[in-house]
Structure 1
Amino acid sequence: MGKTLTFARPARWLAATAAAMLLGATGTAAAQADFPTRPITLVTPTAAGGGVDVVARALAEALSPVLGQPLVVSNKPGAGGVIGTQSAMREKADGYTLLVTANSNQLIVPWLYKNPGFDPIKDFEPVAAVGSVPFVLTVNPSFPAKDLAQFLALMKEKPGQFQYASAGNGTLNHLLPEMLAQQSGGSLEHVPYRGVAPAMTDVLGNQVPILFGTLPSLLENIRAGKLRALGIASAQRNAVLPDVPAIGEQVKGFESDMWVAVYAPKGTPAAVITRLSDAIAQAMKHPRLRESFDKMGMQVLEEGPKELAVRQEAELQVWKEVVAKSGATVD
């Protein structure tokens, strides 16, 4: 039998290799400790001027001095948020491109498409949840129900006879009435529009009597008496409309709002995620940011990666069931 040949590594080679490995690890750690060293882009999958865009710009202004770098908001709307979300997902996982998005784009869209092209859990790292806005159930003042109890009774007594407007199939103001009907034992007829503006126009004109919308988008018309607010889509009342009951007071377990959060592409180093999360928590204490949120009727959320991960995983399953029961699809 032949002898087995072994080759001893020279001590000098081993020392050089260990030094190189240590230098590489130290360099990576140093790069993460110095993060960021250049501007950061915040991608939003919505158009400029919308709720998510407004939040992203307010956050960018407050976050820039904390991180010591400019933050640029990049709007990439289209396909219910799919285009912008996929764009952010494909960026390098280094913390210099982040996704600022709403739960409707991140957690509902995947159930509406056969192939949305992204997985909210597998393709993104949670960074921070920053704020939430309640939805309000409103009706044209001529609608027969004067309060929430009467509205719920009408849904049961005359199932499918009352129409509600939405910004389109699969939007929150489509699925919230469906969820309310499912949980209260009634039914409504859905009338989809291409956006909130035309839906609002027809509700104000009483072509369609019912609309679920975010508090900031409806508040002016509620205060002017052009819409009657019947309920807040939450477990507790909102300070902006203290006389309007929370739907959860009468429909146990009914609670949903639009919340906005920050995500990073999957694989972003944990040290960078921590740096971003800590910086966002600090920025959220900025008086101007809080004032901006107050004007929108938005509640500040100070949730880090772990809390956001729990929130999104629980809600993802809720919307899966609601979408399935509603039959909503955009394919």
Structure 2
Amino acid sequence: MRADHPRRRTLAAMLALAGLALAGPAPSASAQSAGATPTAAGEAAGWPARPITLIVPFPAGGGNDAMARIVADKLSGALGQQVIVDNRGGGGGNIGTRAVARAAPDGYTLLLGHTGTISVNPSLFATAGYDPRKDFAPIGLMATMPVVLLAHPSFPGKTVADVIAAAKAAPGKVSIGTSAVGTGGYMTAELFKASAGIDATLVPYKGTGPLMNDLVGGHVPIAFGILAPALGNIEAKTLRVIAVMSRERFPLLPDVPTADESGLPGFESVLHYGLLAPAGTPVPIVAKINAALQALVKTEDVAKRIRAEGGAPLTSTPDEYAADIDREEKKWSALVRRLGLKGD
């Protein structure tokens, strides 16, 4: 459902009023780009001289695609060359991500980075084929998006504590819908099960669309997912939000509690979006894109569009994004190892 759909105008307007760190040792973007040759560094002075490709490792229409298109047009104006969005789905996001890792480090191929592809997949998929720390030069963050726990109106539970109690009362009988294995919704569900100590049946769908259809139809009682595809149904009261998985309440939904305050202390699952380039991309190019990205994310127009997708604008330096990747990868890879999860 597009952000300008009539059923979402009210919530989109509220999002425009909303406003939503990470640390840890990580290789700096400067260090990752230090391998650039003198020739490449010289080319940076005239960059960009031709269109730039921004690869989205998922099909058009999803959250990753929306985030990419929000910034692509504005970056085109800021950089003086067209930024073309190229959707390369497949392999849980690995195919497109791997293509950028192997691309020439000349600033003409960029990646829409996402928690799932950058911080989850390398440990979840044995065939991912890239290292999040060695194969990319982080450019900067652009947004965060909390995962939410959604429910069909017929589901009796009203709180996270209710969901946990229901699962403990009937082990394996409570079904939880998610998007595909390895995505933010799926990993959040696995983290939820492990943190709550419950036995529930996960039902992964190939995409967010089929998941929302089954949730609205009552074929699956609850689900973990992102907010944007559910906005219209929440407004129409055909779905309700049990909790947000961020540490702080989401400004759009001030009356919806966090998981932390409603039965699962310390729980957090927030997706992070940013731009990356192949490792070895000249530092001046990384810095130029970062400056343009920070400036546009701070504009009210772009901030509104990010909020209309259920996200929160966020800017960072390349080094801060590198630290973010390091922290998130450690968190999710530990879960993958502990539970023996496999995406292949």
- TM-score band, normalised by shorter chain: 0.7 to 0.9
SS of equivalent residue, structure 1 residue 133: strand
1:49 lines up with 2:49 in the alignment: no
Selected match of 1:265 from 273, 278, 281: 278
Contact between 2:208 and 2:229, CA under 8 Å: does it hold in 1? no
* 5+ long unaligned stretches in structure 2: 1-36
Q: Distance in 2 between matches of 1:132 and 1:118?
A: 23
Aligned pairs (5 A) from 1:234-253: 234-250=246-262, 251-253=264-266
SS of equivalent residue, structure 1 residue 177: helix
Q: Distance in 2 between matches of 1:294 and 1:171?
A: 21
1:254 lines up with 2:267 in the alignment: yes
Selected match of 1:31 from 35, 39, 43: 43
Contact between 1:235 and 1:255, CA under 8 Å: does it hold in 2? yes
Contact between 1:124 and 1:266, CA under 8 Å: does it hold in 2? yes
Selected match of 2:149 from 137, 149, 158: 137
AA at the equivalent of 2:59: A
Report the counterpart of residue 156 of structure 1 in structure 2. Answer: 168
Extract structure 1 runs of 4+ deviating beyond 6 A.
Answer: none
Report the counterpart of residue 146 of structure 1 in structure 2. Answer: 158
Q: Distance in 1 between matches of 2:129 and 2:41?
A: 32
Contact between 1:177 and 1:188, CA under 8 Å: does it hold in 2? no
1:27-80: CA deviation from partner (whole Å, max 9, x where unpaired): 765532332222211111011121111111110111122212211111111111
1:275-306: CA deviation from partner (whole Å, max 9, x where unpaired): 11112111212332122112112101101211
SS of equivalent residue, structure 1 residue 93: coil
Contact between 2:212 and 2:229, CA under 8 Å: does it hold in 1? no
Aligned pairs (5 A) from 1:106-125: 106-125=118-137
1:119-158: CA deviation from partner (whole Å, max 9, x where unpaired): 1111111111111111110111111212233223323343
Report the counterpart of residue 297 of structure 1 in structure 2. Answer: 310
Question: Larger relative contact order (C-alpha < 8 A, sep ≥ 6)?
Answer: 2
Report the counterpart of residue 334 of structure 2 in structure 1. Answer: 321
Contact between 1:66 and 1:282, CA under 8 Å: does it hold in 2? no
Q: Distance in 1 between matches of 2:214 and 2:338?
A: 27
SS of equivalent residue, structure 2 residue 260: helix
SS of equivalent residue, structure 1 residue 208: coil
1:284 lines up with 2:304 in the alignment: no
Give TM-score scaled by structure 1 length: 0.87
Q: Distance in 2 between matches of 1:316 and 1:208?
A: 30
Report the counterpart of residue 70 of structure 2 in structure 1. Answer: 58
Cα RMSD for the two superposed structures:
1.8
AA at the equivalent of 2:245: A
Q: Distance in 2 between matches of 1:316 and 1:78?
A: 21
1:226-257: CA deviation from partner (whole Å, max 9, x where unpaired): 11211001101111111110112242221112
SS of equivalent residue, structure 1 residue 230: strand
Query: How far apart are 1:210 and its partner, in Å?
Result: 1.2
Q: Distance in 2 between matches of 1:189 and 1:210?
A: 11
Contact between 1:90 and 1:265, CA under 8 Å: does it hold in 2? yes
* 5+ long unaligned stretches in structure 1: 1-23
SS of equivalent residue, structure 2 residue 315: strand
Aligned residues: 307
SS of equivalent residue, structure 2 residue 177: strand
Bigger Rg, structure 1 or 2: 1
Report the counterpart of residue 89 of structure 2 in structure 1. Answer: 77
Query: How far apart are 1:201 and its partner, in Å?
Result: 2.2
SS of equivalent residue, structure 1 residue 264: strand
> Identity across aligned pairs (percent)?
36
Contact between 1:169 and 1:328, CA under 8 Å: does it hold in 2? no
Contact between 1:165 and 1:208, CA under 8 Å: does it hold in 2? yes
Selected match of 1:226 from 235, 238, 250: 238
Q: Distance in 2 between matches of 1:325 and 1:159?
A: 21
Task: Go from structure 1 to structure 2 and tell me whether the alpha carbon gap of 1:311 and 1:267 turns closer, same or farther (over 3 Å shift).
Answer: same
Task: Go from structure 1 to structure 2 and tell me whether the alpha carbon gap of 1:29 and 1:107 turns closer, same or farther (over 3 Å shift).
Answer: closer
Q: Distance in 2 between matches of 1:180 and 1:294?
A: 25
1:2-29: CA deviation from partner (whole Å, max 9, x where unpaired): xxxxxxxxxxxxxxxxxxxxxx96x765
